[in-house]
Each structure stands twice: as C-alpha cells, then as structure tokens.
Structure 1
Amino acid sequence: MKLTIVGCSGSFPGPQSPASCYLLTAHDGERPWRILLDLGSGALGAVQKYMDLEDIDAIFLTHLHPDHCMDLCGLHVAVRWNPEGWGPGRIPVWGPAATADRLATAYGLPLDPGMREEFDFKLWTEREPVKLGPFTITPYAVNHPIEESYALRVDVEEFDGTGVPRSVTLAYSGDTDSCQGLEDAAKDANFFLCEAAFQEGRDDGIKDVHLTGKRAAEAATRANARRLLLTHLPVWTDPGIVVAEARAAFEGDVAVAVAGVHYTI
C-alpha cells in the first residue's frame, strides 16, 4: 500500500501544506484502488498532483470540522459542472450522520437534494467495518469536541504481482485527545498516522481536543504500533518539539508528516 501525504497542516492550511488529506493506493490483483482519508481545506488542488479526480474510488471522513471535509464543496463543483461530463457516477463518501446536510449548508444549497446527486453519502456505524476493493476501513469513536469524530483503522490485503496477498494495517487518528478508541484503532498497526497538534507545557489547560507528541507516542506504545508518523501540526507547533516528546515515549520509528511525501507500507 502506498500512502501519499496530500495535506497535513493542522486546523487550517499552512504555507507549505493544505489541511488534512491522505491518499491511499492499493492493488486488489485486478486494478489499483485509490481512497482519500479526509478532504480538508485546500486539499483538492493538491490531490490533482497525484491522480485524476475521476479515479477517486471513495472518500472517508473522520469528522466534519472544515479542515477535514470542506474541500468536498470544490469536488462537488468538479463533478457537477465538468463540461465534458463526469464518467464514474456518484463518489461514495462515508462520514458522520450530518455529512450531507453540513456540506449542503456550507455551499448554500437546499438540503434536498444538496450534494446527493454528486456524492453517495454513507453513514459510519462505530466499529462496523466497510469493505471496498482491497481496503477494510473500521471507524472508532474518539475524543474530540464535535458530534461524531472517528479514528480509522485501514486493513489492506494487497496483491503485489506474485499472486500472494500481503496484509498490512494503517491507523489514522483523525482529531482526538487520548482515549481507548484511539488505541483500539491502532492495535498492532504497521503504520500509525497520528495527530500531535499540541505541545506539552504550552497547551496543558486544553482538554479533550488534541494530542501532544508525548500523548500520541503513549497511545502508539500501548497499541503496539510499529511506526509513528505525527501529523496535523498547526503552523505554531514546532515539529522538533513534538518529535522529541514522542521519541521519549515510543521506541519505534518517529517522524513528522510532510506534504508531498510518499510512504510504502
């Protein structure tokens, strides 16, 4: 499986990166499948560096804060108004119960039909897996101040050309503070993509919103994840500080996500 960091800036786009968006590509033995985890502010433009928009197989939203979902409004325009037509049909979008209405409101559309002619909205059921091509995506409720917020566990059974499937797991925190759901999502993951928006000592008075590098690493350790990639750092959070915090609490490999970087998992 290939992970592309489309956008990793926390809370709003930064000068070097859009907000949250991650492209996963895997092969099922017949064709490559491409899914997006979140499509936050500014991400739609960057997605087009790596793929044709018509090749999006599905979008999986962790929650409905704009830095994780708002560029679906731009994708709605691309689908609806492409002068050559849109060949693939409606794009499947998994998300919280309010997804369709929230996006329609953001764009100023009537709630019915809203964007339902462009997107096939599907609702998360906590810890109920969704199967799509080589991907199995399972949502875990996490600790963030919005009606529904999820970490996503992505299990992949991929064929690399030898005819023998290879199974790997990526866990993505979405936005959360420490909680059991996060650790369950990341249990034994090969790769843990985890937010670390806050810093120890600076943000201690803010609870139940975001992780620090230290708390992300503690979750990774308890989950027995093998590799930790810190993401969702706002422009005012120092990557060097959160990496140092994380390395003190996690024995595996630790790095910070950078937009445009690819990982093979």
Structure 2
Amino acid sequence: MTVRITVLGCSGSVSGPDSPASGYLLTAPDTPPLVIDFGGGVLGALQRYADPGDVTVLLSHLHADHCLDLPGLFVWRRYHPNPPPGKGLMYGPRDTWARLAAASSPEGGELDDFKDIFDIRHWTDGEPVRIGSLEVLPRSVSHPTESYGMRFTDPSGAVLVYSGDTGICGSVVELARDADVFLCEASWTHAPDNRPPDVHLSGTEAGQIAAKAGVGELLLTHIPPWTSREDVISEAKAEFDGPVRAVVCGESFDVRRAR
C-alpha cells in the first residue's frame, strides 16, 4: 500500500455545486487517517471513506472554507453511540483553539473547550513532526492569516506537497522542491492588476512554482465556482511541461517515488 490522497472537497473559498470546500484524506501504511483541512461539507464526504472518529486533523489555516466543518466533527466525537476512545490529534496555527472554540460555541459569547476530545498542537515553521510512518514538514506561506503549506515524506522517499492557500513566495517553492506530487491551489486566472497580492495563486503562478521546484506532477485545487477550471489548467500547462490536472471531488491519487 502506498500513500494515497483522496479529495473530499476542492472548491475554493466556498463550497460549490459539485464539491465541498477544502478537505483531503491522506492514508499511508502504519499511519492514522489524516484529514488535511476541514471546510464546509467535508465531514459528510469523509464518511464515505473513513470513520470520522479515527482521523487526525491537519489545518493549513483557519479561514472558514478550511475549517468550519469541524464543529460537526466535535459532535461526532462526543455524541456518537460508539464514541472513539481517547482524544483525537489536531495540528494547526497558534489560535486554533480560540477560533474553533468560538465557532463551536452553543451560545453567543461562550467558548466550547474541545480539549476534552482533541489534543491540539501548533505548527512551527520549518519544524517537522512525525505522524505514523510519515514526516510532515510545515512551512509558513503568504496569506493574510497564519498559514502553512505541508510536505509529506514516506519511508520510501515519496513526497506529496500541499501548498495550502498562498500567494507567490519563496517558501512554497522550496517546500515543493522535487516533490513527486504537488497539490497546489489556483484560485484565479492570471490578472495581477485586478486582484490583491499575497492571497492566492493563478494558474500561471501555480505552473511557475511547479516548474521552478521541479515537481513530478501538478494537481490544481481550490478553484472557486466562479473561476474557469479550463482557463486555470491552460495557464498552468503553459508554464509547466509535466502532467497537470485539476482535481475533482472523490478522486484518489497514489504518491510514489518517481526519481
């Protein structure tokens, strides 16, 4: 069995007509199921593939489209007729507890102290952690809130990189260096004069990063319902001569060492 990523949701900024917002299930030998981001609709999609009570949650950042299905997971862990034993594990930015405690509050002005069901740990830029058989390296990327991309390496040396939400920055290029699979957001078509900098990538920029980093395969994600998938794909292909595709909800991809 190899490392496999299954797309639970890939719609950018909001949930779409055919997909939840951001969420990806990562499975690997001798490793608990990992869910990378947990946007609207992800909990329902996750139930097709894994027991939600078994998962470890890895959050790139705390914008709503990447985390706001987690209050539903809190209900699952607390009130399921057969609740999971012990606590789950969650990694995220420094304000993970405060932001999600407010989001899950049963009353205005209160906080839901969900430390009864999750052990919460914080990313440190450039400091790897080990989860099962995988090494996970978080790197701070360019986005208006504390945000991380992630590099996953298995014992064979196979590498998956997830950009998280980011603008162009050196850290995402270095994070993606020689990755076998690069799962990269591409929220806009390329028009630098009419969009804010340091928020998201265009298809052109995603392709440029993939080319600079020398990745094996580029998987585009986080495309909002109002952005043309075809245009984003065409932009990326014009910059990167390796395999390029835009993911869809329900797809799975194996990550194997190619070089």
TM-score normalised by the chain length of structure 1: 0.91
- Partner of 2:69 in structure 1? 71
- Partner of 1:92 in structure 2? 89
CA shift digits 1:210-265 (9 cap, x unpaired): 00011011111111111000000000011110010000100110000100001111
Quick one: distance in 1 between partners of 2:200 and 2:234? Answer: 17
- Partner of 2:60 in structure 1? 62
CA shift digits 1:133-152 (9 cap, x unpaired): 11111111111111x10111
**Which amino acid is 2:147 matched to?**
S
Runs of 4+ in structure 1 deviating by more than 6 angstroms, as ranges, are: none
Quick one: distance in 1 between partners of 2:132 and 2:192? Answer: 43
- Partner of 2:34 in structure 1? 35
- Partner of 2:16 in structure 1? 14
- Partner of 2:81 in structure 1? 83
Quick one: distance in 2 between partners of 1:54 and 1:7? Answer: 19
Quick one: distance in 1 between partners of 2:196 and 2:189? Answer: 11
Q: Is the 8 A contact 2:77 2:84 kept in 1?
A: no
- Partner of 1:53 in structure 2? 52
Q: Is the 8 A contact 1:8 1:232 kept in 2?
A: yes
Structure 1 position 75, deviation (Å):
0.2
- Alignment length, in residue pairs? 250
Q: Output the aligned Cα RMSD.
A: 1.4
1:44 aligns with 2:46: no
Quick one: distance in 2 between partners of 1:190 and 1:152? Answer: 14
Report matched runs for 1:181-260 at 5 Å: 181-201=171-191, 204-260=194-250
1:138 aligns with 2:137: yes
Quick one: distance in 2 between partners of 1:120 and 1:15? Answer: 34
Quick one: distance in 1 between partners of 2:77 and 2:22? Answer: 21
Quick one: distance in 1 between partners of 2:194 and 2:232? Answer: 14
Structure 1 position 97, deviation (Å):
0.6
TM-score normalised by the chain length of structure 2: 0.93
**Secondary structure in structure 1 of the residue aligned to 2:34:** strand
Quick one: distance in 2 between partners of 1:70 and 1:222? Answer: 33
Quick one: distance in 1 between partners of 2:165 and 2:51? Answer: 28
CA shift digits 1:19-60 (9 cap, x unpaired): 0001111113xxx5311111111110000011111331x111
- Partner of 1:156 in structure 2? 154
Q: Is the 8 A contact 1:33 1:134 kept in 2?
A: no
Quick one: distance in 1 between partners of 2:250 and 2:88? Answer: 24
Distance 1:151 1:107, change over 3 A: same
Structure 1 position 202, deviation (Å):
7.7
Q: Is the 8 A contact 1:186 1:223 kept in 2?
A: yes
* Structure 2: stretches of 5+ with no match in the other structure: none
